[in-house]
Amino acid sequence: MTAPVVTDLGLVARTVAVPPEEVDLLDFAGDDGLLFAREGVGLAGRGVALRVDAADAAEVLAGIPTVDEVGLPGCGPVAIGALPFDRSAPATVVVPAVVVGRSPDGTAWRTTVSSGPSAAGEVAAGPRTRPPDDFRLTAARPHEEWLDVVAGAVAAIGAGRFRKVVLAREVTVEANRPIRAGDVLGRLRALYPSCMLFSVDGFVGASPELLVARTGDQVRSQPMAGTIPRSGEPAADARLAAALLDSEKEREEHALVVEEVAAALAPWCRALDVPAEPSIVPLRNVSHLGTLLTGRLAEGAPSALGLALALHPTPAVGGTPTDEALAWIAAVEGLDRGRYAGPVGWVDARGDGEWAVGVRSAELDGNRARLFAGVGVVADSVPEDELAETQLKLQALLAAVVRP
């Protein structure tokens, strides 16, 4: 029998308005804080008021009384987390002791969660060290061996074991001094301004893919699958984008993802719009096929975190059918994904929140960083092309981590 969640925690959330010009979310998070932001909008936290199981987050947040001094939207206690790719692994989220936020309209606020009668003081950042200037890169698996794994997956698809499987590669970076999260995030913000920046307990990245967002009864998801490089020359990139839209292989891979995301969201929605055609989502070095699903949630629908748990893993990071693809990944991939490709984001006491797919990401641990990139393998995948795609995707984090 599951023990009841203790909600009488003696904590109170207190919110005050702050001048927007004083809020830089990345600076507030620093090297050891929490961050989820895009284009200057989002949340940053410091300190830990609570760390709770992800499944209990909604009940715990609802049990923290809120003193709202300014009537701000989006304030009150929040939980921020990066969940493991493995659905059976323990998953926790953090309720920060102090969180600052900024809304799309520029409104900014600060919420503290504490047991005292007044707002908690500033949570001190850790000591800063000199950035590293010497790096060593190592691929976890030789290219030829990884190509054989992809060829094996293509053969398994041909034999009818599954329709798609996502295979990842890992590259390890060893530096001569600690790799600082704040430095990496600053470079990612400059390189990929339209992506969702995140930092949770050493897991950092800039994801282009929205798993799910909930605001009241409105829900959004933008699954992505299908990738092509960009040249930086407008006419050439237009031709590449047109080729991506015309590619039968890329369209099939993308359609598999959209179909399953729509099927997972539909039971919770009283209306769900699924565009018939994907669009191009351009980034600095690649373009993706993306489809923005929008809907209205039915009464009793889960929180944003609950929806993220219900959707994960989509075929964009696992495959389809899900169980067969995940079993293949466990048997042949040869790496521990950890939080790579898991949900990362936030949820508040109302159930609102935003969760990205934790791709374009790295696990930082002192002088070491583990970088990941994955590709969707389908029936007509060419192993050498899939290897080249992982190399393109790895450039996003390599450009931010390796600065000799």
Query: Which residues are marked as active site?
Result: 164, 209
β-sheet bridge partners, residue 133: none
Crossing angle of helices 383-401/143-158, nearest 10°? Answer: 130
Contacts of 278 (CB under 8 A, 6+ apart): 226, 245, 251, 254, 258, 289, 290, 291
Closest CA to 302 of 356, 353, 357: 353
Tokens 């729509």 sit on residue:
262
Alpha-helix runs per DSSP H in 283-373: 304-311, 322-332
Q: Is 299 exposed, middle or buried (0-12, 13-18, 19+ CB in 10 A)?
A: exposed
Q: Backbone phi, then psi, for 198, in 5-degree steps?
A: -145, 150
Contact 362, 353 (CB under 8 A): no
Q: Is 59 exposed, middle or buried (0-12, 13-18, 19+ CB in 10 A)?
A: middle
Helices (H) and strands (E) in the chain, counts: 9, 25
How far, in Å, CA of 62 to CA of 372, rounded? Answer: 35
Tokens 């960083």 sit on residue:
369
Closest CA to 316 of 245, 243, 264: 264
How far, in Å, CA of 293 to CA of 60, rounded? Answer: 30
Sign of CA dihedral 137, 138, 140, 141: positive
Angle (CA) 90 91 95, round 5°: 140
Contact 396, 192 (CB under 8 A): yes
How far, in Å, CA of 102 to CA of 20, rounded? Answer: 7
How far, in Å, CA of 220 to CA of 38, rounded? Answer: 16
